Amino acid sequence: MTDTSNISETLRWLRARSEHALSVGVDPSREDAVFGLQLAESAVAKCQLNQENQDHPLQLVVFGPTQSGKSTVVNLLLEANAAGVSALAGYTMHAQGFHVGHGGGDWLSSFFPDYKKVAVAELPRDDADCYSAEEVVSPLQPAPATVWDSPDFDSLRAGDYRESVVRALGLADAALLVVSKDKYADQAVWEVLDLVRALGRPLLICINKVADGDRDVVVNSLLSRLDEYWGSDSKPQVVVLPWQPGLGENAEVPLDVTALRKSVSDIMRQATRDEHRAQLQSLLDHGWPQWRVPLLAEVNAATQWQALVEDCCDSVLKQYKRDYLEHPQQDETFQRSLVELLQLLEIPAVAGVLGKTRQLITWPARQLLGMTGLGEDRHTDPDDSLERRLLLDLFQQSLTRLSETALDRAAEAGGASAWWRGMAGVLRQQREGLSFDFDHQIRDYQIDFEPEIEAAAQKLYEGLQEQPIVLNSLRVARFGADAAGVALAVKSGGLGLIDLALAPAMLSVTSLLTEGAMGKYIDGVMLELRQLQLQRVEKLLVEGGLAVQLGNLPRGLADQPGFYGLDNIQYNSLAEALGQATTERGLV
């Protein structure tokens, strides 16, 4: 059995989330789940009360639908005019306790921590968060005991005070369901009765206000329904009270009332707290299949989202490889290495004269590529590298694809439609910020990759040193490239990679590098560089912008009303806290 404090905390969290869902109209079906969660919370509090106040008096709770005569039955049991009686529906809207043979105790305030204790005569009609508990003189046995009169759970106003019913039911050591001839077959009655059955307390059913001619029909109908719900388990006893105005007000006590009092005394004597912890687990097991449905719907949706994000990563990586690294007309990686190689091809006689000129040629290209720090406005640079523009375009395509998929799935019927609608909203709100962050990650990656570009150029230079004729030819070509660059730099004020690659002097450099045995050596160096580049971009996508940022988007739902925001690990932890299996798979 899991620790009760952990169970209590888990149930409160689940109930709060379910109530939020109801408040925003996400899933009206969760109202029944809230009732069960409230009862489970109260049952946990009862277990804690048993441990902290082992000798607190026996608790009998009388509950039932509206106008079933609960307050009248309480007065009959107590043989006192203690509970207020009215023909108005919903007249009793607070839990009212009547102490027999004792004066109460401080433990009540701990069991009803969110309620104010008010005298019976002063219970307000406009505040449901109150209860009363007063001592009465009664021959009820066994004693000491407390008899609780509770509000209905099915009237139009019941939503305002239904939690009082559930709190009292969890406190019960024994329970008495009071139904009228007109109410015993209502679905609301059987839904509550099903929860009380799962709670496992000794239970008695009283059918009230039954005319003599209807007695057998009503009782047989109820017993037949009990067979459906209880099966082969021991079913609760059923007693009947006749339709009789002023019942209990006369000195003569009908035999039916005497039978009721005896049956109530019997179930109170059957009550034992030894099984309360096991009964709590039974209630949790009973409620879990219903409680987990919206949880699993979200967990499955989140799992599907992660799969979509992974597909986007794979797609982006494939398109990046095809349209950038392997594209024959966009060999930007080679040109970037060539820029660095030119730095190494010093011409002793003119190196000093052309040093500043070389900076004019290479600096604009490096700036465009983000190879050095670009200051505060680097993200606004309109003339950027092909690589950055391609990655940003692919990122935007991924956002669009995910948004369209989320909207499509939101339109489908099912428990996860609200989750997908929420995800579409989160993606719409964060799209600009996601793109901005990913742009910065691309630039950071390019800056971090600069040493690899330089290392590749160094390998090229080392290979050239083994071929002096080619090296000297390149130095001559380099002088020409510098000279051509001076004219172009003066004319345009800057030089881009494409301009550099198309300059006549640079074409001669490229031809010298790619011919013969040297060309094979360069191909090998560049292949290694591109493979390393592919690995770095994959890391960028998987550990950075795409997979991590988009994969974390479902967390944005955790703070929104109506959503649980659980992943599979958190779901399993929650299930374990309630004593449930954690090996089950999600619902499709």
User: For position 221, what pLDDT does the model report?
Assistant: 92
The mean per-residue pLDDT over the stretch 508-512 comes to 57
Tell which residue, 486, 568, 550, has the closest CA to residue 303. 568
- pLDDT higher than 50, residue 361: no
Domain boundaries, the chain: 53-274, 298-569
Per mean pLDDT, which range of 10-19, 283-292, 320-329, 427-436 is the poorest? Answer: 320-329
Of the candidate ranges 64-68, 106-110, 345-349, the one whose mean pLDDT is the lowest: 345-349
Question: Which neighbouring-strand residues pair with 60?
Answer: 147, 174
Distances (CA, A) of 571 to 26, 294, 433, 580: 20, 11, 29, 11
Q: What is the pLDDT of residues 210-220, one digit of tens each?
A: 988 899 999 99
Mean per-residue pLDDT over the chain, rounded:
81
* Model pTM score: 0.76
| pLDDT for position 516 | 55
The arithmetic mean of pLDDT across residues 231-239, rounded, is 85
Q: Are 508 and 470 in contact (CB under 8 A)?
A: no
Residue 330: its pLDDT value, please? 59
Q: What is the predicted pLDDT for the residue at 228?
A: 87
Give the Cα separation of 57 and 49 in Å (integer): 11
Q: Is 178 within 8 Å of 60 (Cβ atoms)?
A: no
Query: Which fold would CATH assign to domain 53-274?
Result: Rossmann fold (3.40.50)
**100 confidence band (pLDDT: 50, 70, 90):** very high
Q: Which residue has the tokens 């040493």?
A: 451
For residues 62 and 149, the answer to whether their CB atoms sit within 8 Å is yes
Query: Kind and range of the H or E element at 281?
Result: helix 276-320
Nearest-angstrom CA–CA distance, 524 and 514: 11
| Res 31 pLDDT > 50 | yes
Share of the chain above pLDDT 90, in %: 42
Res. 264: pLDDT tops 50: yes
> pLDDT for 154-187, tens place per residue?
887 877 888 889 999 999 999 999 999 888 889 9
The share of the chain scoring above pLDDT 70, in percent, equals 76
Q: Residue 546 has which token pair?
A: 């795409």
Mean pLDDT of 484-510: 46
Pick the more confident residue, 467 or 257.
257
pLDDT in tens, 41-80: 999 999 999 999 999 999 999 999 998 989 889 999 999 8
48-79 burial code (b ≥16 CB/10 A, e <16): bbbeeeeebbbbbbbbbbbbbbbbbbbbbbbb
Instruction: Quote the pLDDT of residue 275.
Output: 94
Number of C-beta neighbours around residue 447 at 10 A: 16
> Per-residue confidence at 371, pLDDT binned at 50, 70, 90?
very low
Among the residue ranges 23-32, 192-201, 457-466, 542-551, the one predicted with the least confidence is 23-32
pLDDT score recorded for residue 103? 87
**Model confidence band, residue 501 (pLDDT cutoffs 50, 70, 90):** very low
What's the pLDDT score for residue 367? 45
Q: What is the DSSP letter of 459?
A: H
For residue 401, give the amino acid letter: R
Q: Average of pLDDT values for 256-281?
A: 95
CA distances from 468 to 285, 463, 472, 507, 518 (A): 83, 10, 6, 20, 12
Which of 240, 236, 257 has its CA nearest to residue 190? 236
Residue 37 has pLDDT above 90, yes or no: yes
pLDDT bin (cut points 50, 70, 90) of residue 287 is very high
For residues 178 and 62, the answer to whether their CB atoms sit within 8 Å is yes
10-24, pLDDT tens digit by residue?
A: 999 999 888 887 776
pLDDT at 515 over 70: no
pLDDT surpasses 60 at 285: yes
- The DSSP 8-state label assigned to residue 98 in this structure reads E
pLDDT band at 480 (very low <50, low <70, confident <90, very high): low
pLDDT category, 470, cuts 50, 70, 90? low
* Average pLDDT estimate for 285-304: 92
Report phi then psi at 205, rounded to 5.
-115, 130
Q: 219 with 249: CB under 8 angstroms?
A: no
